[in-house]
Chains A and B, each alone.
Chain A
Amino acid sequence: MRKFISVLIALILCISSSVMVFGQNSLDDYSIISPYTSDEGVAYGDNLLISVKVDAGTALSFTVLSYPNYTSADSLSMVPAISFTVEEPVGISENYEKRDRIGFYTRQLNDIEPGLYALRVDSLDGNGNITDTYSKYFIVKPNASKTTTTIYESQPSNKVLFFQSVFKSLFGSTAEE
Protein backbone atom coordinates (compact mmCIF):
# COMPACT_ATOMS: atom_id res chain seq x y z
CA MET A 1 0.00 0.00 0.00
CA ARG A 2 2.71 2.47 1.03
CA LYS A 3 4.72 1.62 -2.00
CA PHE A 4 1.68 2.13 -4.16
CA ILE A 5 1.02 5.54 -2.64
CA SER A 6 4.63 6.70 -3.01
CA VAL A 7 4.67 5.57 -6.63
CA LEU A 8 1.40 7.39 -7.14
CA ILE A 9 2.84 10.53 -5.57
CA ALA A 10 5.99 10.28 -7.64
CA LEU A 11 3.88 9.82 -10.76
CA ILE A 12 1.74 12.80 -9.91
CA LEU A 13 4.87 14.87 -9.25
CA CYS A 14 6.33 13.84 -12.58
CA ILE A 15 3.18 14.69 -14.46
CA SER A 16 2.67 18.01 -12.72
CA SER A 17 6.29 19.01 -13.15
CA SER A 18 6.18 18.19 -16.82
CA VAL A 19 3.06 20.26 -17.01
CA MET A 20 5.01 22.99 -15.29
CA VAL A 21 7.78 22.70 -17.83
CA PHE A 22 5.73 22.34 -20.99
CA GLY A 23 2.47 24.04 -20.26
CA GLN A 24 1.83 27.31 -22.03
CA ASN A 25 -0.83 28.54 -19.65
CA SER A 26 -1.50 27.37 -16.19
CA LEU A 27 -4.31 28.89 -14.24
CA ASP A 28 -7.31 30.79 -15.61
CA ASP A 29 -6.54 34.03 -13.75
CA TYR A 30 -3.80 35.15 -16.09
CA SER A 31 -2.14 34.24 -19.35
CA ILE A 32 1.49 34.64 -20.24
CA ILE A 33 1.81 36.29 -23.64
CA SER A 34 5.54 36.82 -23.59
CA PRO A 35 8.17 35.49 -23.49
CA TYR A 36 6.85 33.97 -26.66
CA THR A 37 8.60 30.70 -27.23
CA SER A 38 8.95 28.23 -30.03
CA ASP A 39 7.86 24.61 -29.55
CA GLU A 40 11.16 23.80 -27.98
CA GLY A 41 10.67 26.57 -25.48
CA VAL A 42 13.20 28.92 -27.11
CA ALA A 43 12.99 32.70 -27.14
CA TYR A 44 15.38 34.51 -29.48
CA GLY A 45 17.15 37.80 -28.89
CA ASP A 46 19.09 39.55 -26.20
CA ASN A 47 16.20 41.75 -25.08
CA LEU A 48 13.50 39.88 -23.26
CA LEU A 49 9.90 41.01 -23.27
CA ILE A 50 7.61 39.80 -20.50
CA SER A 51 3.93 40.47 -20.93
CA VAL A 52 1.21 38.85 -18.85
CA LYS A 53 -2.50 39.54 -19.20
CA VAL A 54 -4.14 39.45 -15.76
CA ASP A 55 -7.84 39.02 -15.00
CA ALA A 56 -9.78 41.22 -12.65
CA GLY A 57 -9.43 40.48 -8.97
CA THR A 58 -6.09 38.73 -9.26
CA ALA A 59 -2.99 39.62 -7.24
CA LEU A 60 0.33 38.23 -8.41
CA SER A 61 4.05 38.39 -7.85
CA PHE A 62 6.51 37.98 -10.71
CA THR A 63 10.09 36.82 -10.48
CA VAL A 64 12.50 36.08 -13.28
CA LEU A 65 15.05 33.42 -12.48
CA SER A 66 18.13 32.32 -14.31
CA TYR A 67 19.84 28.93 -14.16
CA PRO A 68 23.55 29.48 -14.72
CA ASN A 69 24.32 25.77 -14.97
CA TYR A 70 22.36 25.37 -18.17
CA THR A 71 23.77 28.02 -20.45
CA SER A 72 24.17 25.68 -23.39
CA ALA A 73 20.75 24.07 -23.39
CA ASP A 74 19.28 23.85 -26.85
CA SER A 75 15.73 22.96 -26.00
CA LEU A 76 13.73 22.38 -22.87
CA SER A 77 13.35 18.71 -23.60
CA MET A 78 17.06 18.37 -23.06
CA VAL A 79 16.87 19.82 -19.57
CA PRO A 80 16.06 17.49 -16.67
CA ALA A 81 12.62 18.32 -15.39
CA ILE A 82 13.32 18.38 -11.68
CA SER A 83 15.74 19.84 -9.18
CA PHE A 84 17.66 22.73 -10.54
CA THR A 85 20.50 23.23 -8.23
CA VAL A 86 21.33 26.86 -8.74
CA GLU A 87 18.81 29.50 -9.51
CA GLU A 88 19.44 33.25 -9.38
CA PRO A 89 16.88 36.00 -9.56
CA VAL A 90 17.20 38.45 -12.43
CA GLY A 91 16.33 41.81 -11.00
CA ILE A 92 13.77 42.05 -8.21
CA SER A 93 10.40 40.40 -7.76
CA GLU A 94 7.56 42.68 -8.72
CA ASN A 95 4.04 42.61 -7.35
CA TYR A 96 0.90 43.13 -9.33
CA GLU A 97 -1.94 44.36 -7.18
CA LYS A 98 -5.42 43.17 -7.85
CA ARG A 99 -7.73 45.43 -9.83
CA ASP A 100 -11.39 45.42 -10.67
CA ARG A 101 -10.65 45.05 -14.36
CA ILE A 102 -8.17 43.24 -16.58
CA GLY A 103 -4.62 44.57 -16.72
CA PHE A 104 -1.16 43.79 -17.93
CA TYR A 105 2.17 43.16 -16.32
CA THR A 106 4.81 44.22 -18.81
CA ARG A 107 8.54 44.32 -18.37
CA GLN A 108 11.46 44.53 -20.73
CA LEU A 109 14.81 43.05 -19.70
CA ASN A 110 17.79 44.11 -21.73
CA ASP A 111 21.08 42.40 -22.40
CA ILE A 112 20.07 38.91 -21.42
CA GLU A 113 22.77 36.26 -21.80
CA PRO A 114 21.76 33.04 -23.54
CA GLY A 115 20.72 30.27 -21.16
CA LEU A 116 17.87 28.77 -19.20
CA TYR A 117 15.40 31.05 -17.47
CA ALA A 118 12.05 30.89 -15.78
CA LEU A 119 9.26 33.33 -15.16
CA ARG A 120 7.74 32.41 -11.83
CA VAL A 121 4.23 33.66 -11.18
CA ASP A 122 2.98 33.50 -7.60
CA SER A 123 -0.73 33.93 -6.99
CA LEU A 124 -1.39 35.93 -3.81
CA ASP A 125 -4.31 36.15 -1.45
CA GLY A 126 -5.60 39.23 0.31
CA ASN A 127 -2.84 39.15 2.90
CA GLY A 128 0.00 38.72 0.45
CA ASN A 129 0.44 35.01 1.08
CA ILE A 130 1.29 32.79 -1.81
CA THR A 131 -1.59 30.52 -2.68
CA ASP A 132 -0.21 29.05 -5.88
CA THR A 133 2.81 29.21 -8.09
CA TYR A 134 3.64 28.50 -11.69
CA SER A 135 6.95 28.69 -13.50
CA LYS A 136 7.34 29.06 -17.22
CA TYR A 137 10.73 27.86 -18.27
CA PHE A 138 12.35 29.06 -21.44
CA ILE A 139 15.69 29.09 -23.13
CA VAL A 140 17.17 32.32 -24.45
CA LYS A 141 19.24 32.10 -27.59
CA PRO A 142 20.79 34.86 -29.61
CA ASN A 143 19.00 35.81 -32.79
CA ALA A 144 20.03 33.72 -35.73
CA SER A 145 21.95 35.95 -38.03
CA LYS A 146 20.33 35.84 -41.42
CA THR A 147 23.24 36.87 -43.52
CA THR A 148 24.03 33.30 -44.41
CA THR A 149 20.83 32.89 -46.36
CA THR A 150 20.71 35.02 -49.46
CA ILE A 151 17.26 35.84 -50.68
CA TYR A 152 18.50 37.23 -53.92
CA GLU A 153 20.99 35.86 -56.37
CA SER A 154 23.39 38.54 -57.43
CA GLN A 155 22.02 38.56 -60.93
CA PRO A 156 18.30 37.86 -61.25
CA SER A 157 17.60 35.20 -63.81
CA ASN A 158 14.66 37.07 -65.26
CA LYS A 159 16.04 40.43 -66.11
CA VAL A 160 13.47 43.07 -66.82
CA LEU A 161 15.07 46.12 -68.21
CA PHE A 162 13.89 49.65 -67.74
CA PHE A 163 12.34 51.01 -70.90
CA GLN A 164 14.86 53.79 -70.72
CA SER A 165 17.77 51.37 -70.81
CA VAL A 166 16.33 49.66 -73.84
CA PHE A 167 15.77 53.00 -75.47
CA LYS A 168 19.29 53.98 -74.64
CA SER A 169 20.77 50.84 -76.05
CA LEU A 170 18.78 51.26 -79.24
CA PHE A 171 19.59 54.87 -79.82
CA GLY A 172 22.73 55.29 -77.78
CA SER A 173 21.58 58.54 -76.20
CA THR A 174 20.19 59.72 -72.90
CA ALA A 175 16.41 59.46 -72.77
CA GLU A 176 14.34 62.61 -72.31
CA GLU A 177 13.06 63.23 -68.79
Chain B
Amino acid sequence: MEWSKIKNILIVALILTDILLVSLLIFSDHGKNDTDSSVSVEDALVVLSKNDITVSSKIPDVDPEMPVLTLTYDSDNGSFFYTSSEAGITLTENTALDLAESFISGLALPEAEKNTLEAVNVYPSEDDSGRYVVSYGSYYEDYKLENSYILCYVSSEGVTEMLKNHAVAEISGNSKQKIMPAASALLKYMNQLKSADPDSAKEITDVSLVYMVDSPYDGNITSDTAFPTWKITASDNSITYISAYN
Protein backbone atom coordinates (compact mmCIF):
# COMPACT_ATOMS: atom_id res chain seq x y z
CA MET B 1 0.00 0.00 0.00
CA GLU B 2 1.61 3.17 -1.16
CA TRP B 3 0.63 6.05 1.05
CA SER B 4 2.07 8.45 -1.45
CA LYS B 5 -0.25 7.32 -4.21
CA ILE B 6 -3.24 7.38 -1.93
CA LYS B 7 -2.39 10.93 -0.93
CA ASN B 8 -2.16 12.00 -4.53
CA ILE B 9 -5.56 10.53 -5.27
CA LEU B 10 -7.05 12.22 -2.20
CA ILE B 11 -5.65 15.60 -3.21
CA VAL B 12 -7.08 15.35 -6.68
CA ALA B 13 -10.45 14.20 -5.39
CA LEU B 14 -10.66 17.05 -2.88
CA ILE B 15 -9.70 19.62 -5.49
CA LEU B 16 -12.41 18.34 -7.82
CA THR B 17 -14.99 18.41 -5.02
CA ASP B 18 -14.08 21.97 -4.12
CA ILE B 19 -14.32 23.09 -7.73
CA LEU B 20 -17.74 21.47 -7.93
CA LEU B 21 -18.97 23.17 -4.76
CA VAL B 22 -17.69 26.58 -5.82
CA SER B 23 -19.39 26.32 -9.17
CA LEU B 24 -22.60 25.23 -7.51
CA LEU B 25 -22.47 28.24 -5.26
CA ILE B 26 -21.83 30.58 -8.18
CA PHE B 27 -24.68 29.00 -10.06
CA SER B 28 -27.10 29.54 -7.20
CA ASP B 29 -25.94 33.15 -7.08
CA HIS B 30 -27.03 33.61 -10.67
CA GLY B 31 -30.17 31.80 -9.82
CA LYS B 32 -31.08 34.53 -7.36
CA ASN B 33 -30.92 37.11 -10.08
CA ASP B 34 -33.44 35.51 -12.34
CA THR B 35 -36.81 37.15 -12.39
CA ASP B 36 -39.34 35.15 -10.52
CA SER B 37 -41.17 33.93 -13.57
CA SER B 38 -43.50 31.70 -11.68
CA VAL B 39 -46.67 33.42 -12.92
CA SER B 40 -47.14 34.91 -16.36
CA VAL B 41 -49.35 37.88 -17.04
CA GLU B 42 -51.73 35.82 -19.15
CA ASP B 43 -52.26 33.28 -16.42
CA ALA B 44 -52.87 36.02 -13.91
CA LEU B 45 -55.49 37.67 -16.11
CA VAL B 46 -57.30 34.38 -16.45
CA VAL B 47 -57.42 33.91 -12.71
CA LEU B 48 -58.63 37.46 -12.23
CA SER B 49 -61.42 37.17 -14.77
CA LYS B 50 -62.63 34.02 -13.05
CA ASN B 51 -62.96 36.17 -9.96
CA ASP B 52 -64.97 38.96 -11.57
CA ILE B 53 -62.02 41.24 -12.04
CA THR B 54 -61.45 42.52 -15.53
CA VAL B 55 -58.46 44.47 -16.68
CA SER B 56 -59.03 46.96 -19.43
CA SER B 57 -55.65 48.64 -19.33
CA LYS B 58 -52.25 47.73 -20.57
CA ILE B 59 -50.02 45.90 -18.12
CA PRO B 60 -46.66 47.61 -18.15
CA ASP B 61 -43.32 45.92 -18.60
CA VAL B 62 -40.99 46.98 -15.90
CA ASP B 63 -37.36 46.51 -14.90
CA PRO B 64 -36.92 43.53 -12.63
CA GLU B 65 -34.96 45.62 -10.17
CA MET B 66 -35.52 49.15 -9.04
CA PRO B 67 -33.87 51.56 -6.62
CA VAL B 68 -35.48 53.68 -3.92
CA LEU B 69 -35.74 57.42 -4.32
CA THR B 70 -34.97 60.15 -1.84
CA LEU B 71 -37.62 62.85 -1.88
CA THR B 72 -36.64 66.36 -0.88
CA TYR B 73 -39.61 68.56 -0.12
CA ASP B 74 -39.67 72.26 -0.90
CA SER B 75 -39.02 74.36 2.16
CA ASP B 76 -42.07 76.47 1.42
CA ASN B 77 -44.87 73.95 1.03
CA GLY B 78 -48.30 74.81 2.29
CA SER B 79 -51.51 76.61 1.44
CA PHE B 80 -51.34 79.96 -0.26
CA PHE B 81 -53.99 82.53 -1.10
CA TYR B 82 -53.70 85.19 -3.73
CA THR B 83 -55.61 88.13 -4.95
CA SER B 84 -55.22 88.73 -8.58
CA SER B 85 -55.56 91.79 -10.69
CA GLU B 86 -56.50 89.87 -13.79
CA ALA B 87 -60.00 90.85 -14.56
CA GLY B 88 -62.80 88.69 -15.85
CA ILE B 89 -61.34 86.00 -18.09
CA THR B 90 -63.91 83.54 -19.31
CA LEU B 91 -63.20 80.45 -17.35
CA THR B 92 -62.99 77.17 -19.23
CA GLU B 93 -60.84 74.13 -18.67
CA ASN B 94 -58.36 75.35 -21.22
CA THR B 95 -58.13 78.89 -20.00
CA ALA B 96 -57.84 77.63 -16.43
CA LEU B 97 -54.98 75.42 -17.50
CA ASP B 98 -53.23 78.29 -19.24
CA LEU B 99 -53.53 80.50 -16.20
CA ALA B 100 -52.21 77.75 -13.96
CA GLU B 101 -49.29 77.02 -16.28
CA SER B 102 -48.12 80.56 -16.37
CA PHE B 103 -48.56 80.82 -12.62
CA ILE B 104 -46.50 77.68 -12.01
CA SER B 105 -43.68 78.76 -14.29
CA GLY B 106 -43.59 82.00 -12.35
CA LEU B 107 -43.03 80.12 -9.07
CA ALA B 108 -39.47 79.08 -9.86
CA LEU B 109 -39.77 75.70 -8.18
CA PRO B 110 -36.66 73.68 -7.38
CA GLU B 111 -35.62 71.62 -10.33
CA ALA B 112 -33.72 68.37 -10.43
CA GLU B 113 -32.46 66.00 -13.05
CA LYS B 114 -35.09 63.63 -14.43
CA ASN B 115 -37.83 65.38 -12.44
CA THR B 116 -40.81 66.85 -14.27
CA LEU B 117 -43.98 68.55 -13.18
CA GLU B 118 -47.05 67.99 -15.31
CA ALA B 119 -50.64 69.01 -15.21
CA VAL B 120 -52.55 65.82 -14.66
CA ASN B 121 -56.13 66.94 -14.45
CA VAL B 122 -58.41 69.93 -14.69
CA TYR B 123 -61.84 69.74 -13.08
CA PRO B 124 -64.43 72.01 -11.56
CA SER B 125 -63.94 72.71 -7.89
CA GLU B 126 -66.27 70.84 -5.55
CA ASP B 127 -67.30 73.95 -3.63
CA ASP B 128 -69.73 76.35 -5.28
CA SER B 129 -67.11 78.93 -6.11
CA GLY B 130 -67.18 78.13 -9.82
CA ARG B 131 -63.43 77.71 -9.82
CA TYR B 132 -61.43 75.08 -11.62
CA VAL B 133 -58.81 72.93 -9.97
CA VAL B 134 -55.67 72.19 -11.95
CA SER B 135 -53.78 69.36 -10.33
CA TYR B 136 -50.10 68.81 -10.99
CA GLY B 137 -48.18 65.62 -10.48
CA SER B 138 -44.45 65.12 -10.15
CA TYR B 139 -42.58 62.50 -12.09
CA TYR B 140 -39.17 60.99 -11.82
CA GLU B 141 -38.42 59.70 -15.29
CA ASP B 142 -41.70 57.94 -16.10
CA TYR B 143 -42.65 57.16 -12.55
CA LYS B 144 -45.15 59.28 -10.68
CA LEU B 145 -44.19 60.49 -7.25
CA GLU B 146 -47.46 59.95 -5.45
CA ASN B 147 -46.63 62.14 -2.48
CA SER B 148 -45.69 65.23 -4.47
CA TYR B 149 -48.50 67.36 -5.88
CA ILE B 150 -49.66 70.90 -6.47
CA LEU B 151 -53.27 71.98 -6.64
CA CYS B 152 -54.09 75.31 -8.24
CA TYR B 153 -57.51 76.82 -7.74
CA VAL B 154 -58.27 79.06 -10.69
CA SER B 155 -61.04 81.60 -10.77
CA SER B 156 -61.84 84.11 -13.48
CA GLU B 157 -59.26 86.41 -11.90
CA GLY B 158 -56.50 83.86 -12.08
CA VAL B 159 -54.99 81.54 -9.49
CA THR B 160 -56.51 82.45 -6.13
CA GLU B 161 -55.38 79.50 -4.06
CA MET B 162 -52.61 76.97 -4.23
CA LEU B 163 -52.02 73.88 -2.15
CA LYS B 164 -48.40 72.87 -2.63
CA ASN B 165 -46.80 69.70 -1.37
CA HIS B 166 -43.98 69.48 -3.84
CA ALA B 167 -40.83 67.39 -3.76
CA VAL B 168 -38.03 66.44 -6.12
CA ALA B 169 -36.57 62.98 -6.25
CA GLU B 170 -33.18 61.48 -6.79
CA ILE B 171 -31.80 58.01 -6.57
CA SER B 172 -30.26 57.30 -3.20
CA GLY B 173 -27.52 54.78 -2.82
CA ASN B 174 -26.31 52.34 -5.39
CA SER B 175 -28.51 49.36 -4.87
CA LYS B 176 -31.52 48.12 -6.67
CA GLN B 177 -33.79 45.50 -5.33
CA LYS B 178 -35.96 43.00 -7.11
CA ILE B 179 -39.57 44.01 -7.43
CA MET B 180 -42.74 42.01 -7.64
CA PRO B 181 -43.88 41.70 -11.28
CA ALA B 182 -47.25 43.06 -12.33
CA ALA B 183 -48.86 39.64 -12.46
CA SER B 184 -48.04 38.95 -8.81
CA ALA B 185 -49.25 42.41 -7.83
CA LEU B 186 -52.59 41.80 -9.52
CA LEU B 187 -53.03 38.50 -7.76
CA LYS B 188 -52.21 40.10 -4.45
CA TYR B 189 -54.76 42.80 -5.23
CA MET B 190 -57.33 40.18 -5.92
CA ASN B 191 -56.60 38.38 -2.65
CA GLN B 192 -56.90 41.58 -0.64
CA LEU B 193 -60.15 42.45 -2.37
CA LYS B 194 -61.70 39.05 -1.96
CA SER B 195 -60.77 38.65 1.68
CA ALA B 196 -62.46 41.96 2.44
CA ASP B 197 -65.51 41.30 0.27
CA PRO B 198 -65.79 37.95 -1.51
CA ASP B 199 -68.52 39.14 -3.80
CA SER B 200 -66.85 42.24 -5.15
CA ALA B 201 -66.26 42.77 -8.83
CA LYS B 202 -63.96 45.36 -10.32
CA GLU B 203 -62.84 46.67 -13.62
CA ILE B 204 -59.23 47.70 -13.44
CA THR B 205 -58.62 50.72 -15.59
CA ASP B 206 -55.00 51.34 -14.81
CA VAL B 207 -52.00 49.42 -13.57
CA SER B 208 -48.84 51.39 -13.11
CA LEU B 209 -45.67 51.48 -11.11
CA VAL B 210 -45.18 54.60 -9.02
CA TYR B 211 -43.00 55.78 -6.17
CA MET B 212 -44.59 56.42 -2.84
CA VAL B 213 -44.37 56.58 0.89
CA ASP B 214 -47.47 55.27 2.51
CA SER B 215 -46.93 55.00 6.22
CA PRO B 216 -47.70 58.10 8.22
CA TYR B 217 -45.20 60.23 10.09
CA ASP B 218 -45.91 62.97 12.59
CA GLY B 219 -44.01 66.08 11.79
CA ASN B 220 -42.97 68.45 9.03
CA ILE B 221 -40.93 66.32 6.69
CA THR B 222 -38.11 67.84 4.66
CA SER B 223 -36.73 64.59 3.27
CA ASP B 224 -38.16 61.10 2.93
CA THR B 225 -37.66 57.80 1.13
CA ALA B 226 -40.04 56.64 -1.60
CA PHE B 227 -40.40 53.00 -2.57
CA PRO B 228 -41.61 51.43 -5.83
CA THR B 229 -45.29 50.69 -5.47
CA TRP B 230 -47.93 49.20 -7.75
CA LYS B 231 -50.90 51.50 -8.19
CA ILE B 232 -54.07 49.77 -9.30
CA THR B 233 -56.98 52.02 -10.28
CA ALA B 234 -60.49 50.70 -10.86
CA SER B 235 -63.43 52.09 -12.82
CA ASP B 236 -65.14 53.09 -9.57
CA ASN B 237 -62.20 55.41 -8.95
CA SER B 238 -60.83 53.26 -6.12
CA ILE B 239 -57.06 53.19 -5.91
CA THR B 240 -55.09 50.40 -4.28
CA TYR B 241 -51.38 50.57 -3.57
CA ILE B 242 -49.31 47.46 -3.22
CA SER B 243 -45.66 47.62 -2.21
CA ALA B 244 -43.52 46.34 -5.06
CA TYR B 245 -40.66 45.17 -2.87
CA ASN B 246 -41.26 41.71 -1.49
The answer to whether any beta carbons of A and B sit under 8 Å apart in the complex is no
